Structure 1
Amino acid sequence: MMLWDRLLIALLAALSPKWAGASDSSPSLTQSAAAPAFTYTRTSFLLNGKPYIIIGGQMDPQRIPPAYWRDRLIKARAMGLNTIFSYVYWNLLEPTQGQWTSSEESNDIAKFFRIAQDVGLNVVLRPGPYICGEREWGGFPAWLARVPGMKVRSSGAAFMDAAESYLKRLAGDLRDLQVTRGGPLLMVQVENEYGSYGEDHNYTQGLRDILKENFEVPLYTNDGGVDWTLRGGEVPGVLAEIDGDPRSGFAARDRYITDPTELGPLLDGEYYTFAPDYWGPGNKHNTAVGNPSQIQQFVSDLDYVLGANNSISLYMFHGGTNFGFSNGAIWKNYTAVFITSYDYGAPLDESGRTTDLYFKFRDTIQKYVPEDSIPEPPANVPLLEISNITLSPTISLFDTLGPKINSVAPLTMEELDQAYGLVFYEHTVNTTLQGTLQPGDRARDRVIVYVNGTKKGVIDSTYSQPAPVSLTLQPGDTLQLLVENLGRVDYWSRESGTFVALEDQFKGIVGNVTIGSRVVSGWNVYSLPLDEPPAATQAKPSAIAPGSPPTFFRGTFQIESGNTTDPAALDTFLEVPDGVKGNVWINGFNLGRYWVVGPQQSLYLPGTILKPGVENEIVILELEPNGETLTALGVTERTWANYPDPDYP
């Protein structure tokens, strides 16, 4: 080891005295200093004293059915990966302030890490508290918006107190899984790409100190490989790393990061295998299929990194699914909403099947690891085909409203103590009103406008210029506004937009509703979180035609398990070919949103949700019904396509 490297390690140890232990059960400072389980020099990571090149891939356990965690991790190891990078979603771990849910199977991050170790993988933790990840509000829980004085991603007391509580609880679950205690956890990331967002170094240094108090392993930051993002995100005493293009990013890291306590081996912490998809006409699915030049670029970049003994993490190795209402959005001076699928064009597709890209990466990695050190990947299990299921209408959404709240002005979703789903606003007209409808301060998400139960138009913020809805109302008419939370914005850059969308996350209607120049006062407000679909009912809505209110449809179907006990043999892709927009529940589990605008035209249905040999229930909330029945079916090859009418709202 060079003298410079020894001096650097000594300096890092001086700046980071709590790496070695935060509790009585921690290894002693003397033991950790003498033989750190995982550390680094200026040029190399060291695992148990030996050089360790991170060949990593991103896979987030909370986006994958827990029953499939082992399968996905085995396939990661069989592609040649030795490390898994994982975001953790605060909003799922603490959906209500003070309610910690890591005991729920899908939130048991510790179990995921133990399985990773079982199959020969190490892990890197990316806990945020902000993680972006195309998730609802970048992983922040919705209740943060109701905390007085709250400004997310800042050093303000309100946010730091909440973040510290979250990080301490998470550390309590994972502390014994650190490499210092024989576990697989090598490093922890401080925040996430903060330099793209701000320059509050008191905030990032505060997070550094919280993490040092609760973890013993090295910390690192990850920022885009340009000067202003690196300088905004750097934290003294924390290893600075980059994402994106490794050639320009590595050069930028060594050019712009000059603090020796932030320097060390090169890691491309997010090398993008493709990209996520947005809802809307013209948005194509990002995939390696039919894109040989892009695949060749991937191979070239991987050769460039590994050939120089540097480290990398593929984002994503396996994307998974934004089940339910968990997708986020990006603010582009309109709301660019991510689809339910997080397939990402990744080497392991959304259903966990290996792809041609998987084997391209595997072949490349094999050149840089000992011969025969990579196990053979399991064969892909064929998907299940499910013939047409006919669903019948059961009840109108407007007949499931529950308790109402009377308010002079509309209430936001947060004021209703609601995180996700829909809000319904109803006003009885007492004077003639005429003009263009304005739902609050601006169009937030998607507003379906009804008069006396008949649809009159849609105001949709996924368009930079939402279509106007003009109304003429008479005394006695009922004005109804159904507002859907399409997904809170998870990313806003200092260089993108006219307002800081990440901080302004109130959903529903904010401010007054106006028609023409008149303020509309006096509302009945109904909270519709849609945590579960309504129970089966004999009630049947009136005749359904275009313009009818949203309607729940229900059907049942049976499947046979054949001769296998592997739930993957029951995996399929569910299509609703005559649906327009809505959500699908299978046996009470919310698969997510479908929308005719595409590009997604089928929903991944994991076999873990299905029950062989008995009736399975499918419930669909169709927001824009246009017929007396719906049809659903399971297909073995998914469909990606756009709705042909680019003006569809």
Structure 2
Amino acid sequence: MGLNTIFSYIFWNELEPSPGVWDWNGIRGMNDIAAWYQAVQDAGLQAVLRPGGYICGERDWGGMPAWLSQIQNLTVRSNNPQFLEHSDYYFGNLSQQISKYQVSQGGPILLAQVENEYGQYGSDHAYTAALSALIAKHFNLLQYTNDGGSQTQFPNGPVHGVLAEIDGDPYQGFATRKNNISDPTEMGPNLDGEYYFNQKELAKWLTTWGSNSLYPTVSGIGYNNSAIVAGASWILNQASSFSLYMFHGGTNFAFSNGGLNFGQLEAVTPSYDYGAPLDESGRPRELYWELRSAIANYTGKTPNIVQTLPMSNISDVPLRPVAALLEESSDTIKSDSPINMEQLGQSYGYILYRYQAPYGANISGQLHPGDGPRDRVLVYVNGNKQGVIDATYYPPQNVTIQIVGGDVLELLVENQGRVDYSSPLLDQRKGIIGDVYIGSNLVSPWTIQSYPVPTPPQSLIGKGTNHLPIITVSANSTPVWYKGNFKLDGGVAGTAAADTFLSISGGIKGVLYVNGYNLGKYWTVGPAQSQYVPGAWLREDNEIIVLELEPQVDKELVASGSSERVWYNNPDPDCVNCKSANPNP
């Protein structure tokens, strides 16, 4: 396109998944930060480091590790000794990996960002100054802050000695910056650090799950490309710079998505593509070509065009029920009161709370799971689903139950993504927080089991469906694992031509895995009805494994692949007399 610099978030939670435990490889090298900056340098580009620790980006808890919530007296995004201590340790370890890629050592990294849009969250300049000092301790880079360009947001962000920049609307933002910056150490060229495609030109920004949640289309309908190009050209005419957010509309694979909460949780879909010049699969849209032409007017040149390969379609793949989730053996913990997910060293997935009523018991009433659903509670009595309590529903559903002596109450709680933006960000523990009541009756004790399911059970991987027992699915069943297999042409497998968007029909809600890779969640409510599968993850012989949370006795699960992402909404079968998600975040 003619751009010269790549702005990259660094996800602390991916690199330090447990305190002091570092993963610099990740899935297929996704965490190899050094290799990333080497690739940037090899391509003749520059880079900007955006290390956080808080980065937002609609990632789980804004990229901060879930285990921070278990550090006594720690408060995130604050001038808090514990938070700064762990941030210091993180920056130090990151520096060891990438210090040689700083521009001062002949590398491509030009700048480091301090925090992320802090002016939209708080105004504690002592905190941002302390964070800036920690970055300076570990990196020899010019620093900048990046804050919203409104008068209510921008003044809260700048730090003495750090270049103050804006994001969002450049017309308003550059004017606000000019009117507010008087400290010479904060002055410098204008930069729109996140030039969005969601201003007046876009009907919808990021996509959240919900039967009435809006969504962008693959073709970009709802965008005014001419206004977007005009804004970029205006910035260049000011001898200023911009970073396109997003240039490539990527994917929150596995359980990496975050959430919003403006009074009600809104869980972000795996797709983070809301009209980027390069779509989720890395293929150009019309906006790519229009921006490319606009940039060429200023640079006088454009790079060579990379060939765009067609994507793959995959015929229907029947999926067979092969195992029950809650029958898997896992360590159990007994406790008088529920224990939250993070206390068990678990960050993502599901956690089960099981209670057996004593002889002679007869309890009935509305179920109250602690301080409320964190985030979605599937309620079972003796293995039969009684209802769902979900934080994304307005109002949350009430579930009334009755249990007598010997009955088993099970509460399977799903983490739908920690909030990464808005005030509830401070407390993002998942599971059940507090005691459980049925009516006014305290329910205790509990047996607790973790089901993080980052990958399918090893007993299911690498075996054809014909070599696994087919189990019977009953009405209102607990979650079930399904599996199917498909083949690809050998000349396509492993290449970009194998890229596809995989859909699941016949299911309600669950998780989709291909060849052991966790693609993320699906949900019939939409609007995302398919998940992106990189062709590099596909082989000639492939297996699809699905964890269906609400299996239907009269419906077969079927997977299929399409060359285009599918968007539409369906009614939510669990949301009765309520609304599923806020259509206007």
TM-score range, shorter chain: over 0.9
3-state SS of paired residue (1:395): strand
Q: Is the 8 A contact 1:439 1:509 kept in 2?
A: yes
2:259 to 311, 316, 329: 329
What is the distance in 2 between the residues matched to 1:88 and 1:158? Answer: 21
Q: How many residues align?
A: 559
Match of 1:9?
none
Measured in 1, the distance between the counterparts of 2:37 and 2:391 equals 39
Q: Which digits, 9 at most, give the CA deviation of each residue in 1:186-232, with x for residues without a partner?
A: 10000001111112222111111111122222100000012332222
Structural mapping, 1:574-613, within 5 Å: 574-612=502-540
The yes-or-no answer on 1:227 pairing with 2:151 is: yes
Partner of 1:131: 55
Distance in 2, Cα, partners of 1:580 & 1:81: 42
Does the 8 Å contact 2:494/2:538 carry over to 1? no
Q: 1:616 aligns with which of 513, 535, 542?
A: 542
The aligned residue for residue 248 of structure 2 is 318
Distance 1:191 1:398 in 2: 41
Compute the displacement of 1:536 (Å): 3.7
Q: Distance in 2 between matches of 1:89 and 1:478?
A: 40
Note if 1:470 corresponds to 2:400.
Answer: yes
Residue 91 (structure 2) pairs with residue 167 (structure 1): yes
Q: Give the % identical residues.
A: 47
Per-residue deviation, 1:144 = 0.7
Contact 1:243 1:270 in 2 (8 A): yes
Give the drift of 1:550: 0.4
Q: Give the Cα separation in 2 of the matches to 1:447 and 1:524.
A: 16
Residue number in structure 1 paired with 2:5: 83
TM-score, scaled relative to structure 2: 0.93
CA distance in 1, matches of 2:436, 2:519: 33
In structure 2, C-alpha distance between the alignment counterparts of 1:164 and 1:228, rounded to whole Å: 30
Q: Show the counterpart of 1:97.
A: 19
The change in CA–CA distance for 1:287 and 1:241 in structure 2 (over 3 A counts) is: farther
Which of the numbers 554, 563, 569 marks the counterpart of 1:642? 569
Q: Is residue 396–residue 541 contact of structure 1 (8 Å, CA) maintained in 2?
A: no
Q: How much has 1:565 moved relative to structure 2?
A: 7.5
- Partner Cα separation in structure 2 for residue 401 and residue 458 of structure 1: 25
Aligned to 2:425: 502
Q: Which position in structure 1 is the counterpart of 2:202? A: none
| Structure 1 residue identity aligned to 2:563 | T
1:294 to 203, 221, 224: 224
Task: Report whether the alignment pairs 1:108 with 2:32.
Answer: yes
Is the aligned partner of 1:354 residue 2:284?
A: yes
Cα separation, 1, equivalents of 2:563 and 2:471: 36
**1:105-254 residue pairs with structure 2 within 5 A?**
105-254=29-178
| CA shift digits 1:237-262 (9 cap, x unpaired) | 00000000000000001111221111
Deviation, 1:324, is 0.6
Q: Distance in 1 between matches of 2:109 and 2:289?
A: 27
Query: Which residue, 382, 392, 406 being the options, matches 2:320?
Result: 392
Aligned to 2:463: none
Change (3 A) 1:349 1:415: same
1:153 Cα offset (Å): 0.8
Q: What SS is found at the alignment partner of 2:532?
A: strand
Equivalent in the alignment of 2:583 = none
Counterparts of 1:218 and 1:479, CA distance in 2: 57
Q: Cα distance, 1:379 vs. partner?
A: 2.5
The answer to whether the 8 Å contact 1:393/1:551 transfers is: yes
- In 1, Cα distance between equivalents of 2:504 and 2:223: 34
Cα root mean square deviation, aligned: 1.7
State how far apart, in whole Å, the 2-side matches of 1:185 and 1:146 are: 34
Of 178-187 and 591-600, deviating more is 178-187
SS in 2 for 1:490: strand
The change in CA–CA distance for 1:565 and 1:436 in structure 2 (over 3 A counts) is closer
Q: CA offsets, 1:324-382, max 9 Å, x none?
A: 10000011111111001111321100111111111121121111112xx2113212211
SS of the residue 2:343 aligns to:
coil
AA in 1 matched with 2:561? G
Select 1:305's aligned residue among 232, 235, 246.
235
Q: In structure 2, what is the Cα distance between the partners aligned to 1:565 and 1:480?
A: 42
Q: Secondary structure at the match of 2:424?
A: coil
Equivalent-residue separation in structure 2 for 1:121 and 1:633 (angstroms):
38
Aligned to 1:632: 559
State whether residues 239 and 262 of structure 1, in contact with CA within 8 Å, keep that contact through their aligned partners in structure 2. Answer: yes
1:576 is displaced (CA, Å) by: 0.5
Structure of greater Rg? 1
CA distance, structure 2, for counterparts of residue 387 and residue 287 of structure 1? 23
Aligned to 1:67: none
Alignment gaps of 5+ in structure 2: 199-204, 461-466, 581-585
Question: Structure 2 counterpart of 1:487, which letter?
Answer: G
Question: Partner of 2:159: helix, strand, or coil?
Answer: coil
Query: What is the identity, as a one-letter code, of the residue corresponding to 2:380?
Result: Y
Which one of 421, 426, 447 corresponds to residue 524 of structure 1? 447
Q: TM-score, normalised by structure 1?
A: 0.84
Where 1:415 maps in the other structure, the secondary structure is helix
C-alpha contact 1:288 1:295 (8 A) present in aligned 2: no
Q: How does 1:382-461 map to 2 (within 5 A)?
A: 382-430=310-358, 431-461=361-391
Write the distance in 1 (CA, Å) between the matches of 2:550 and 2:32: 37
- Asked if the contact 1:201–1:235 (Cα under 8 Å) also holds between the matched residues in 2, the reply is yes
Kindly provide the CA deviation profile for residues 613-640 of structure 1, in whole angstroms up to 9, marking residues without a partner as x.
xx32211000010037421111112200
- 1:292 Cα deviation from its structure 2 partner: 6.8
Taking the aligned partners of 1:386 and 1:184, their CA distance within structure 2 comes to: 40
Write the distance in 1 (CA, Å) between the matches of 2:522 and 2:60: 17
Instruction: Report if aligned partners of 1:448, 1:481 keep a CA contact under 8 Å in 2.
Output: yes
Question: Is 1:548 equivalent to 2:474 in the alignment?
Answer: no
Change (3 A) 1:216 1:358: same
- Aligned in 2, Cα 1:362/1:462: closer, same or farther, shift over 3 Å? same
Residue 393 of structure 2 aligns to a residue in which SS? coil
Instruction: Provide the C-alpha distance between the structure 2 equivalents of 1:446 and 1:632, rounded to a whole number of angstroms.
Output: 25
